[in-house]
Amino acid sequence: MREQRILKRLNVTLTLQLSVIFIITAILLFTVTYILLSTSLKRKDHDDLRMKYLEIWAQYQTGGLSLIQREIVTDELLGSRELFFVRITDPRLAQLFFVYPQRWNRYDYQQLDLLHSQTEDTVLKLQSEHYSYKLEVIAAKLYDGNLLQVGISTENRELFLKRYRSIFASLLFLLILFSFIAGLYSAFRSLRPIHNLTATVRAIIDTGRMDSRLTPRGTGDELDVLILLFNEMLDKIDSLIGRMREALDNVAHDLRTPLTRFRGTAEIALQTARTEKDYRESLIGCLEESEKILTILKTLTDISEAETGAMHLDKETVDISRLFAEVLDLYAYVAEEKRVALRSSLHENLTAEIDPNRIRQAIGNIVDNAIKYTPDGGSVQLKAYRDDGEIVIRILDTGIGISTDDLPNIWDRLYRGTRGRTEPGLGLGLSLVKAYVEAHGGRVTVTSHPGEGSEFAIALPA
């Protein structure tokens, strides 16, 4: 699969990056230690050389050339592990004394004559075609004008550094192998949650099942946060899909009744109607049913439009008392039929910038419910006042109330409470109220006590 290939490529890239970083770090570390080691070995060689020089200088001072001959030649020089050569010339560079280890005999000692006027700070390097290592020499005048030259070989330190280099070269191979394995492991570990994530998403795409979830690793890092967010997103999508499915079922169910009636009326008319009056009555029945179907569809599109912000609002400055009067006028008859007292009270000069048709319909829907869900002898009251820069409209009833289970859901499309199912309705009234009010930048709230009554409030920006 494509994402598997991409992940594999990512894995290889990460592994290579990690091992390259590892190897570069190792090489850097080696280079730094190598430079430090080589300079300190060099410094130590030069210190030794100067010590030797001073020693011979002191011997010459006390016993002259003969003492040096005795001391150096017999024991120390040929017997010591660190080897030196010593050369003494007269001021015209005629050689008076020269002793060096036997195996250094293939150096071009002629060059030593170039080092006649130097002080002990300058180090001359003697090279040989036969040896890879050099001789380092310092020189200075003795008290009687003769010249003392002392030399040491770089052999020991070069051998040591060579061994160090070859050990590192063989280690480097192991290091590359190890860094690749470590990189592979580390890349695998850090990509594993992403692998799981991909597999889960793939499972959801392939099976269409939204109940798969990822298990957080409990590390609390960025990936865990991503996993938690991903699960949360799946929950949300799952519940949304569930609600959409439910809403679709409800719409199908609610459309089926008027459509069946529509069809029934037409069928009966075709089978039994004789006179023009019969046909006319059947057609009126059909019209009524189609009207119901259209209302359901129109309400659904209105809610969608208001919720997505696509609804056009014809806003104007509206006197709330005018709206109240129109609503009371519209519902006076129904309230009277049901013997429910419908009253209103409001502050003076309450105006708001609103679309009067939409807000009238919102208030109307709440009043319609209030009358519908209030038994005979009850009352429905409308109030309006200004509060903290908002216009608040309250609709109170003494009806059956809403159970705490229903309360959070009553604003959902096509939701019908458990207690009022016997009353006619589609479960769209309050969704429309919420959508219209929120399209105005307002809020709707409800408090209810089952058996005592409910109170709906609309708050609109003044």
Pick 264 or 425: Cβ nearer ligand ADP: 425
Shortest distance, CB of residue 327 to ligand ADP, whole angstroms?
Answer: 15
Structure tokens of 255?
């459309």
Residue whose tokens read 């709206």: 323
CA pair distance 215, 162, nearest whole angstrom? 54
Which residue in 454, 458, 459, 460 binds ligand ADP (CB under 6 A)? Answer: 454
Cβ proximity to ligand ADP: between 362 and 391 the closer is 362
How far is Cα 434 from Cα 438, in angstroms, rounded to an integer?
6
Least distance (Å) between residue 294 CB and ligand ADP: 17
Looking at beta carbons only, is 109 or 415 nearer to ligand ADP?
Answer: 415
DSSP sequence for 327-347: HHHHHHHHHHHTT-EEEEEE-
CB of 396 to ligand ADP, least distance (A): 9
The answer to whether 132 touches 158, Cβ cutoff 8 Å, is yes
Site string for ligand ADP, 89-128 (x = CB under 6 A): ----------------------------------------
- Asked if 420 touches ligand ADP (CB under 6 A), the answer is yes
Q: Which amino acid is at 317?
A: T
Per-residue tokens: 448: 């209810």
Which of 282, 361, 369, 398 is close enough to bind ligand ADP by CB under 6 A? 369
Which helix (H) or strand (E) segment is 449 a member of?
strand 443-449
Find out whether 315 and 354 touch, Cβ atoms under 8 Å. yes
User: What is the smallest separation between the CB atom of 207 and ligand ADP, expressed in angstroms?
Assistant: 35
Q: Which of 393, 426, 435, 437 binds ligand ADP (CB under 6 A)?
A: 426
> DSSP string covering 263-276, please?
HHHHHHHHHH--SH
Q: Please, which residue, 89 or 448, has the CB nearer to ligand ADP? A: 448
- In 83-206 the beta strands, taken as DSSP E runs, fall at 84-89, 95-99, 124-126, 135-141, 147-153
Among 89, 429, 435, 436, the residue binding ligand ADP under the rule CB under 6 A is 429
**C-beta pairs of 151-156 under 8 Å, 24+ apart in sequence:** 151/49, 151/84, 151/85, 151/86, 151/87, 151/100, 151/126, 152/45, 152/48, 152/49, 152/52, 152/82, 152/83, 152/84, 153/83, 153/104, 154/45, 155/131, 156/45, 156/82
Residues 6+ apart with CB under 8 A from 358: 306, 311, 313, 436, 439, 440
Closer residue to ligand ADP, CB minimum distance, 139 or 380: 380
Under the binding rule (CB under 6 A), the answer on residue 400 touching ligand ADP is yes
Q: Which range touches ligand ADP (CB under 6 A), out of 102-110, 235-243, 292-300, 428-436?
A: 428-436
Task: Please report how close the Cβ of residue 323 comes to ligand ADP at its closest, in angstroms.
Answer: 19
**CB of 453 vs ligand ADP, minimal distance in Å:** 7
**Residue 416 in the binding site for ligand ADP (CB under 6 A):** yes
Nearer to ligand ADP, 151 or 417 (CB): 417
d(CA 403, CA 417): 8
Q: Does 327 bind ligand ADP (CB under 6 A)?
A: no
CA distance 49 to 140: 13
Of the pair 258, 399, the CB lying nearest ligand ADP is at 399
300 binds ligand ADP (CB under 6 A): no
Q: Does 402 bind ligand ADP (CB under 6 A)?
A: yes
Q: Using the rule CB under 6 A, is 153 a contact of ligand ADP?
A: no
Strand partners, 14: none
- The residue to which tokens 């709440």 are assigned: 366
Least Å from the CB of residue 369 to ligand ADP:
3
Among residues 71, 120, 319, 406, which is the contact residue for ligand ADP, using CB under 6 A? 406
Q: Does 370 bind ligand ADP (CB under 6 A)?
A: yes
Is there binding between residue 427 and ligand ADP (CB under 6 A)?
yes
φ, ψ (nearest 5 deg) of residue 420: -105, 20
Among 183, 193, 378, 399, binds ligand ADP (CB under 6 A): 399
Measured distance CA(392)–CA(352) in Å, rounded: 11
**# chain residues binding ligand ADP, by CB under 6 A:** 23
Binding site for ligand ADP (CB under 6 A): 369-370, 373, 397, 399-402, 406, 410, 415-417, 419-420, 425-431, 454
